[in-house]
Amino acid sequence: MFDMVMSRLHEVMIVLYAISILLYFNDFQHQNQKANKLAYWLLAIVWSLQTIFLFMYVFRTGRFPVLSLFEGIYFYAWVLLTLSLIINKILRVDFTVFFTNIIGFIFMAIHTFAPVHTQSTAVSERLVSELLFIHITMAILSYAAFSFSFVFSSLYLLQYKLLKQKKWGHRLW
């Protein structure tokens, strides 16, 4: 029963994530401040749910969830969402938040709708080492940094192209 409720909450979280991305797209198209604020608060709700699920998993298993690909995808999506919320609060760059959350949404959807993988406890017990956890966590954080660099470079190329075509507008600022 508990697992069924948790899977439904994950699905609700995915729906909220999708609505938030659509609202950011609406803000991009029509400069709608209400949509932007609502999208931010929906992202904050999704982040809260992801954080709660992450801590529940840590307490249930007694370890940090980075030992399998399935766990790593979830942690990666959580890191992307956390960094995008921080960037949104500090820099107020909506393009970056929008494109970063598209990447995060894709990975969260993969995690939620992929078939449940059973874990081999023998492999997990052999791999338990503090250095391994640090290494894997730093690798996932570097994936998040590479994702942000991809988003920033793509936005730079888009901005450069629009400047060359003299199509500069208030959307890119």
Q: Which two tokens stand for residue 111?
A: 């995690």
Q: What is the pTM of this model?
A: 0.82
User: Residue 160 has which token pair?
Assistant: 């450069």
Closest by Cα among 55, 165, 73, 149 to 117: 73
The mean pLDDT of the chain is 86
pLDDT per residue over 29-73, tens digit each? Answer: 888 899 999 999 999 999 999 999 999 988 988 888 887 888 889
Domain locations in the chain?
A: 2-172
SS3 47: helix
Please state, for a pLDDT cut of 70, what percent of the chain lies above it: 88
- Tokens encoding 7: 């899977």
